[in-house]
Amino acid sequence: MGEAKFDVEGRYQSARFGKLRVVNVYVPNGTGPNRDLSRIPYKLAFSRLLFDLLEKEKKRGGRILVMGDFNTAHEEIDLARPKDNVKNSGFRPEERAEFSRWIGAGWVDTFRRFHPGAPGHYTWWTQRGGARERNVGWRIDYVLASPAAMKFVKAASIHPGVMSSDHCPIGVTLDPAILKVNS
């Protein structure tokens, strides 16, 4: 990303496939070492720098997919127990406002585009208390598409049955024409 305080944590990868830019991110968690909220300013600064790095290309009509763990449940529908978590990192107003800024600037939450209003779709579950089995989770992993890329997104999915970690895979189905120069 070009900023040492973020680059040292290795949270950003970018690759180009023809006309498509794919950015994989692991946005910092806002919870500090003492289970406090001390890393929220760092998390927000990371997100703002990422936004700034991509915004010019998006405005020029760039086909961009930004995917990964954003460590934020954007709306109440994106976690099983919103009222219980308003004071926790990942659902704090300032974190949600930063995510809303992306959406307000034209980035598309691909899953919500194809599944508007569908509750109970999560990508992360705590490993305590059988949360995954009871589907008490959070949707904190996203594929965001620039408007130019969204034209080629045909579907978006979450795969909760894949049990390789406390997260599950997410994905999008793309029209292969997204890679072509003249599409």
Q: Which residues are catalytic?
A: 69
Q: What is residue 145's three-state secondary structure?
A: strand
DSSP state of 124: B
CB-CB contact of 138 with 78 (8 Å):
yes
CA 50 – CA 29 distance, rounded (Å)? 15
- In the chain, what is the straight-line distance between the N-terminal and C-terminal CA atoms, in Å? 29
- CB atoms closer than 10 angstroms to residue 91: 24
